[in-house]
Amino acid sequence: MKRIAVLGGYLVALLILFIRCTPKDNKPITYNDEVFTRCDTTPATVLAKGLPIHYPASMFTMDSIIGIVDFQASDFFIHLYNEKGQAIGNMVRKGRGFGEITDYNDFIVKKEEGLASFYSPGKIIEYDVLAYLSDSTAYIKEYPLPSEVYQKSSFYHNAVKTKSGKYFLIESFDENRLVTVNGKTCNVYKTYPNISGEGTEKDAAIFRYSSKMAIKGDYSRIAFGTYIGGVLDILQIDDTLGISPVKTLGIYKPVYAKVKNSPDAITWGDETPIGFEAMDASDRYLYTLLNGTLGKKLKAKDAINNPPFTEKISIFDWNGHAVKQTYTGKKLIGLTNKGDSICYAVAYDDNYSLLKIEPFK
């Protein structure tokens, strides 16, 4: 099945970051797959069916806009919908022109200012989504990066603008987790929590493989969730972009498989617990899709018609505590939240459908 087959091929590596502070204790973390003691049911409202997207997809919200990012798009990467599920536009064209990108990225959205920003080789591009919808022609800005950035690493996966106007660059290769850029000044942090018990290279490789990320609205904290196994890593960000650990929560141990003919690379395998498949945040909570199924179930014959996507939204607070899970009855592949009252999701059901969910109702 094409939509399931792309799971392995399009789960991009994501290596992450942070600066200045080194944890005092780097002992191996412990794992507990029963961190949630509360699970309720929240029926999902279907807003639209038959969405013109592919798996995998990510989402964002701003004001009354729902954005769905289609990583396999042939023309536009972002599809925009209103809160009724009606299509209202497309943006971020695939190409090599001004404001265009040639490949997919995980888009990071600054909801308060209506900005979607991302890294493209040699520059950071900002899209003003609200200006775009108001027919403004000045909705794209490009910011060239200094040459010093390239001396720090080979490739950056994404860009996140902070409240001070500086940038985090999300790294996909080499040993860096986080680089901050302010003009020509670059700061690099390379430390990872001990999640594998096999050394920093394996820890980095696990975080590198399609980890998910969310940032608190006031930019005081940043969270990462691993796809291989389920590890939630939360960091504190100070006003000078100094970073310190808050909590590393081990849920599923990151059992990985080696890549044939590439001894340094890892991937998911039959015994890999599939971890975080989506993540978004409010100032109070982290909203996630945490799976837990084993990789061999993704390869099973019945996965074509009954793929093992999670049907639960898993909610954490910013101190790394498990708050609750809510069961939706839909196979979820994308998730975003609007405050703490509403979540929107993309489900595999009904040939990709857009859902509205009220997790605390």
What's the Cα-to-Cα distance from 163 to each of 87, 174, 216, 220, 357, rounded to whole Å? 31, 27, 11, 10, 30
Task: Provide the residue type at 354 as one letter.
Answer: L
3-class secondary-structure state, position 45: strand
Q: What is the dihedral of CA 299, 305, 306, 310, to 10 degrees?
A: 90
Judged on CB neighbours under 10 Å (0-12, 13-18, 19+), 333 is buried
Matching residue, tokens 């943006």? 91
Judged on CB neighbours under 10 Å (0-12, 13-18, 19+), 314 is buried
Q: What is the pTM of this model?
A: 0.86
C-alpha span between 76 and 94 (Å, rounded): 6
Q: What was the pLDDT predicted at 3?
A: 41
Taking the chain (361 residues) in runs of 10, the rounded mean pLDDT of each run is 36 30 66 95 96 89 91 89 96 84 68 73 80 81 68 51 60 61 66 91 89 85 94 86 88 94 88 96 96 93 87 98 97 95 96 97 86
Q: What was the pLDDT predicted at 56?
A: 83
Q: What was the pLDDT predicted at 338?
A: 93
Q: What was the pLDDT predicted at 222?
A: 87
Those residues with Cβ within 8 angstroms of residue 292's Cβ, 6 or more apart along the chain or in another chain: 33, 230, 251, 252, 273, 274, 275, 310
Dump strand ranges (E) for 253-311: 257-259, 262-267, 276-281, 285-290
Q: What was the pLDDT predicted at 127?
A: 86
Judged on CB neighbours under 10 Å (0-12, 13-18, 19+), 7 is buried
Judged on CB neighbours under 10 Å (0-12, 13-18, 19+), 112 is exposed
Q: What was the pLDDT predicted at 183?
A: 59
Spell out the CATH class of 2-357.
mainly beta
